[in-house]
Amino acid sequence: MSATTHSTPMTSTDGGSTRQRKARTSTHPTSSGTNHSEAVKKKHIQSQVRSKKPRSFLRRLKRRAIKHTWSIPLLLLVAIASLYALDPTESNIFHHLIFLSYAQDPTDSDSISSLDNRPDHNNLPIQYGKGPWDIAFVAFYTIVLTFTREFIMQELLQPLARVAGIKSRAKQLRFMEQMYTAIYFGFSGPVGLYVMRRTPVWYFHTPGMYEGFPHRTREAVFKFYYLFEAAYWAQQALVMILGMEARRKDFKELVAHHIVTLALIGLSYRFHFTYIGIAIYITHDISDFFLAISKSFHYIDSELVIPLYALNVATWIYLRHYLNLRILYSILTEFRTVGPYELDWDTQQYKCWISNLITFALLALLQSLNLFWLYCLMRSAWRFVSTGEKKDDRSEEEGEEGEQ
C-alpha cells in the first residue's frame, strides 16, 4: 500500500515534468514559425500596398480622363507648347504647328495676282503660300478644337443645361452639342464675313472667284481662317468616327456631308479655289448658327422657339439654296469665261474642264443634301402648323428619351 502510494505521485510528477519539457520544447519552434509567418505576411501586405498605389493612381487618372475628356487634348497641347517654348524660333518644327508657314514677299508677282480688292499695292500685308506644313497646322488646331469643344460642353454648358431645367441626360447632351455649335458658328460666321470683305468675292461677287486665277497666296487672316475652318470640320469628322455623339436619323446623310465637305476643303485649297471655298464656308456657317440656336431653344421649351425656327428656315433657304445655286450657276457659266481656262501643272493653272466638272459635281451633291434637310425642316414646320406638335424632324432619333 505504502509503496503504491509513494510511487503514484512520483510517476505523476515525472510525467508532468516530461510533458512540460515537451511543451517548452515544442513551444519554441511554434513561436518562431508564427513570427516568421507574420513577417512574411507583413512584407506581402506592404508589397501589395506599394503595388496598389500606382495602380490606384492610374485608375483615378483613367476615371478623371473619362469624366473630363478635355484633359487628354489639353495634355497634348501643353506638351506641344512646352516643346516649342524650348526653342521659340521658326527652325523649331513645332513652330509650324502653331503658326502659319510659307510667308512670302507681298510684292512678288504671284502674291499681287491674288491680293484683296484694294487698288494700290503699297504697304501690303505679308502673303502666305501653301505646303505640307499646312496639314500639321490643321492637325494641331483639330486638337485645339477638340479641347475647346469638350471643355465648353462639360464645364460650361452642362451646368447651364441643369440651370435651364433640362433633366433628361439625353436632352442635356443634345442641348450641349447645339449650344457649342452655336458658339462656334457665332464666332466663325462674322469672321468669315470680315475675311470676305477683304477679297474680290465680297458680297458673293461670283466673277471675283475666278479673276486673277490662280490664287496661290493669301494674307495671314485669310489663310488662318481657311485652315481653322478645315480643322473644325476635321474635328467634327473625328467626333463622328469616335461616336462621341449619339447617332441620329440622318446619320448617313451626315456622313455623306462630312465626306463632301472635307473633299471640297482639301481640293479647293490644293488647287487654288479658295475664293469659292470661303463663300461656301460662310453660307453654311451662318445658317448652321441659326439652326443650332433654334434647336437649343427647343430643348429648353422656350416660347421663342417658333420665331427662331421661322428665322432658321428663312436663312437656310437664302444662304444654302439661293446663294449656293448662284454659285453653281456661275460654275456653269463664269468658270469658263472669266480668267484663264486651261490646265498647266508648271504654272499651277488648274481652272480647266476637269476641275470645272469636279467642283460642280461636289457642290451639286452638297446642294442635294441641303435640299434633303430643307425637306425635313419644312415637314417639321408643317407638323407644327397642322397638329401643334413641336418636334425636330431633321435629326432626332425616334423614341429617344426626352426628345419629343
* Full DSSP string of 118-164: -S--TTPPPEE---THHHHHHHHHHHHHHHHHHHIIIIIIHHHHHHT
Helix (H) or strand (E) holding 11: helix 2-67
The pLDDT tens digits for 273-292 are: 999 999 999 999 999 999 99
**Whole-angstrom Cα distance, residue 158 to residue 30?**
64
Q: Is 236 helix (H, G, I), strand (E, B) or coil?
A: helix
Q: 178 phi and psi, to 5 degrees?
A: -70, -35
What DSSP state is assigned to residue 321?
I
The reported pLDDT for the residue numbered 26 is 47
Q: Which three cell numbers stand for residue 205?
A: 461677287
Task: Please give the pLDDT value at position 288.
Answer: 97
Q: Which of 193, 203, 213 is nearest to 334 (CA)?
A: 213
DSSP-based helix, strand, coil % in the chain, nearest 5: 70, 0, 25
Q: What is the dihedral of CA 115, 121, 126, 131, to 10 degrees?
A: 40
d(CA 351, CA 37): 85
pTM for the model: 0.80
Q: How far is CA 348 from the centre of its chain?
A: 32
Give residue 393's identity as a one-letter amino acid code.
Answer: D
Contact 360, 330 (CB under 8 A): no
CA distance 79 to 149: 19
SS3 of residue 219 by DSSP: strand
Considering only CA atoms, which of 398, 392, 399 is closest in space to residue 178? 392
* Helix (H/G/I), strand (E/B), else coil: 344: strand
How many of the other CB atoms lie within 10 Å of CB of 357? 11
- CA-nearest of 356, 374, 192, 177 to 283 is 192
Longest Cα separation, the chain: 146
140: amino acid identity, one letter: F
Q: Determine the Cα–Cα distance for residues 385 and 378; give it in Å rounded to an integer.
A: 10
Q: How many angstroms separate the CA atoms of 194 and 202, rounded?
A: 9
**Helical residues (DSSP H) of 198-250, grouped into ranges:** 220-241
Domain layout of the chain by residue ranges: 1-67, 104-387
Q: What is the pLDDT of residue 397?
A: 47
- CA 354, CA 68: separation in Å to the nearest integer? 47
pLDDT confidence of residue 401: 41
Residue carrying the nine cell digits 447617332: 247
Question: So what's the pLDDT on residue 101?
Answer: 94
Q: How many CB atoms lie within 10 A of CB 234?
A: 21
Query: Which residues in the chain come in under a pLDDT of 50?
Result: 1-30, 109, 111, 113-119, 395, 397-404
Q: Which helix (H) or strand (E) holds 8?
A: helix 2-67
Rounded to whole angstroms, the Cα distance separating 96 from 379 reads 47
Confidence at residue 51, expressed as pLDDT on a 0 to 100 scale: 53
Cα separation, 116 vs 217, whole angstroms: 11
Local structure of 218: helix, strand or coil = strand
Distance between CA atoms of residues 383 and 379, nearest Å: 6
State the cell numbers at 346: 508648271
